[in-house]
Chains A and B, each alone.
Chain A
Amino acid sequence: DIQLTQSPSAMSASVGDRVTITCRASQGISKYLAWFQQKPGTVPKRLISTASSLERGVPSRFSGSGSGTEFTLTISSLQPEDFATYYCLQHNSFPLTFGQGTKLEIK
Chain B
Amino acid sequence: QIQLVQSGAEVKKPGASVKVSCRTSGFTFTSYGISWVRQAPGQGLEWMGWISVYNGDTKYTQEFEGRVTMTTDTSTSTAYMELRSLRSDDTAVFFCARAPPTVPTLFAFDHWGQGTLVTVSS
Contact = CB atoms under 8 A, between A and B. Distances in A.
Interface of A: 1, 30, 32, 34, 36, 38, 43-44, 46, 49, 85, 87, 89, 91-101
Q: Which 5 A-B pairs have the closest CB atoms?
A: A34-B108, A91-B104, A96-B47, A101-B44, A98-B45
B108 A95 contact: no
A46 B108 CA distance: 8
B105 interface: yes
Interface in B1-48: 35, 44-47
Contacts of A97: 47
Nearest to B4: A43
Interface in B35-69: 35, 44-47, 49-50, 59, 61-62
B108 A100 contact: no
Interface of B: 35, 44-47, 49-50, 59, 61-62, 95, 104-105, 107-110, 112-115
A91 B108 contact: yes
Given A96-B50, A101-B44, A46 B104 contact: no
Given A97-B47, A98-B45, A43 B104 contact: no
B44 to A, nearest CB: 4
B45 A101 contact: yes
A39 to B, nearest CB: 13
